[in-house]
Every structure is written in structure tokens, then in C-alpha cells.
A and B are shown apart, each in its own frame.
Chain A
Amino acid sequence: MTSSSEGTFFLTGKDFVKAGTASGSLKRVLEDMGVPSAVVRRAAIAAFEAEMNTIIYAVAGIMHYYVTAEMIKVVIQDMGQGIENIELAMTEGYSTAPDYIREMGFGSGMGLPNIKKNVDKFMLSSVSGEGTTLEFIINLEKT
């Protein structure tokens, strides 16, 4: 596996055409680096869910990734409505998505739990009315 890589993707709220392209690009970066496919999948799933949250709920955001021999670290930071109650937001089935988002099959209240299930370390902080920062780490050294 090649040593390390770092990069940033810009996310635009409500842009459902570009939605998924940042996590798709991250997936290709990890594949090209020779990260084991099971780990790539976990990272891509977590990144996709986080990306969709920004698209659905925020005005704009960035996804920054940092890959070393030891870990994949991804930080998604957005400007938007934020999360009022993080504990509630982490509850499976809970969602504040509007109807038109639910009609697209989002807003099942499974996104954040899906992220948590696929990563080794998960941090979520938010200021209501300002935005949300989600950071996750997937360890690479385990065999």
C-alpha cells in the first residue's frame, strides 16, 4: 500500500446530481492506494452517509480525508441547520428529513447509525443553527 494521501472535496447542499461523487472519489483513492476492499467499503459507506447528510441538511460543506499506513481519517464539516439533539439523532429511525427527501428514500433515520457501525472511532459535534462536524477514523493496521 502506498504511504499516505490527503485531499478535500466540496459539498453543495441540495445538489442531488453531484451527491455521492465525493464518497465515490474517496473510494477510488483508497482502492488505488491498495487499501483492503472490505475496509474501502466501510469507509465509502460512512463517507456516503455523511455526504448525503450534508447534501440534505446543510447549505455547504467540505469532506477532508487523510490516509496513513495506520488509519483513514475523514472529517465532514458543514454550514447548515446543525443538530439540536445528537443523542436523538443517533437513534435508529429518528429523522427530521422533510417529505420530499423521504420520497427519495432518504430520511430513514439510519444514516448516522450506519456510519457508527462501519468505523472504529466516531465523533459528532454540532451547533444548532450553525453547522455540524462529523469525524471518523478507520484503523488500517489490524490484520
Chain B
Amino acid sequence: MILQQLVDSLSLEVLTEGADLMRGVSGGYVSDMISDVIGNAREGQVWITFQVHLNIVAAASLKGLSAIIMVNNRRPLPETLQRASEENVVIMTTSLPAFDLVGLLYDLGLRCR
């Protein structure tokens, strides 16, 4: 699966300019704790979170995550978006709460493990 398929299927709003939506998606991870993501998310997963501050970009970049998906219409701070563009981290948002988004991602075949 690639990011573009998620965007099309779930009407996600892509926020980073020039985002590479051909990037593969190997699964998903949900957490609002940075060290939990660093310890337990896997390369190529999408990260579903409520966090919007700058430091999530470094975490996503370190782990080689496919994209960050913000829930409940959360929007990144401007500096977060700028850093994300610099580091090639894709950020998207959805009006759905995490529970519903994860359910739909699961239906599409994504798993955590």
C-alpha cells in the first residue's frame, strides 16, 4: 500500500507541500507519547497522533515512518510544517477521531505487527 491510496480512500488532507505520496505504508502505530513511538513503531508505518508540536518531526524522521496523521482536525504548528518539509516527513490531518481512523485503516488491511 502507498500513502496516495490512504489519502484517496479516507479523504485525508495532506499538509506538507510536495509530499511524496508514492511512499509505501507497512502498517500503523497510534500514540501520543514520543518515546513510545521511538521504542515501538516500525519503519514505514503511519503514525496516528494528537500531537502537533515540532519534536514529532524528529521522531518520525528517526524512525523512518511513512507519515504522521493528525486526528480530530488537529493542525501542526507552522514551524512543525516547515521542519517536516525540510526533513521529508509527510504530515496529514483528518477530522476523524483516532478510534475511527484506526478502524478504517485496519479495514484497509493495515496492521501494527
Main secondary structure of the interface of A (DSSP, over half): helix
Are A48 and B32 neighbours in the complex by a CB distance under 8 Å? Answer: no
Question: Separation in Å of the A24 CB from the closest CB of chain B?
Answer: 6
Q: For chain B residues 41-97, which have a beta carbon within 8 Å of chain A?
A: 43, 49, 51, 53-59, 61-64, 79, 87
On whether the beta carbons of B53 and A16 are closer than 8 Å, the reply is yes
Within 8 A of B (CB), among A111-130: 111, 113-114, 117
Give how many A residues have a beta carbon under 8 Å from the other chain's beta carbons. Answer: 24
Given the interface pairs A17-B79, A114-B39, the reply to whether A105 lies near B61 with Cβ below 8 Å is no
B104 sits at the interface (CB 8 A):
no
Pick from A16, A108, A113: contact of B33, CB below 8 A. Answer: A108
Q: Is the interface of B mostly helix, strand, loop or mixed?
A: helix
Check A27 against B32 for contact (C-beta < 8 Å): no
Q: B2 interface residue, CB < 8 Å from A?
A: no
Select one of A16, A45, A108, A113 contacting B55, CB under 8 A.
A16
Task: Report Cα–Cα, A106/B34, bound state, in Å.
Answer: 6
What chain A residues lie within 8 Å of B56 (beta carbons)?
105
**Cross-chain contact B62 with A45 (CB below 8 angstroms):** yes
Please, which residues of chain A bring their CB within 8 A of the CB of B36?
A: 108, 110
Distance between Cα atoms of A49 and B33 in the complex (Å): 12
- Which of chain A's residues have a CB closer than 8 A to the CB of B35? 49, 106, 108-111, 114
Q: Are B59 and A48 in contact (CB under 8 A)?
A: yes
Q: Which residues from chain B contact A16 at a C-beta distance below 8 Å?
A: 53-55
- B62 and A48 contacting across the interface, CB-CB below 8 Å: yes
A54 interface hit (Cβ, 8 Å)? no
Query: Does residue A137 face the partner (Cβ distance < 8 Å to B)?
Result: no
Q: Determine how close the nearest CB of chain B comes to the CB of A10; give it in whole angstroms.
A: 17
Measured CB to CB, the closest approach of chain A to B53, in angstroms, equals 6
In this complex, the member of B38, B43, B63, B79 whose beta carbon has the largest number of chain A beta carbons within 10 angstroms is B38
Instruction: State in angstroms the CA–CA spacing of A110 and B87 once bound together.
Output: 25
B33 touches A48 (CB 8 A): no
Chain A residues with CB under 8 A of B51: 104-105
Give the residue name and chain of the A residue nearest to B37 (CB): A105
Tell whether, in the assembled complex, residue A104 and residue B53 are in contact, meaning their CB atoms are under 8 Å apart: yes
Bound Cα distance from A48 to B55, whole angstroms: 10
- For the complex formed, measure the closest distance between the CB of A21 and the CB atoms of chain B, giving whole angstroms: 8
Nearest neighbor of B43 in chain A, beta-carbon distance: A41
Chain B interfacial positions (CB closer than 8 Å to A): 31-36, 38-39, 43, 49, 51, 53-59, 61-64, 79, 87
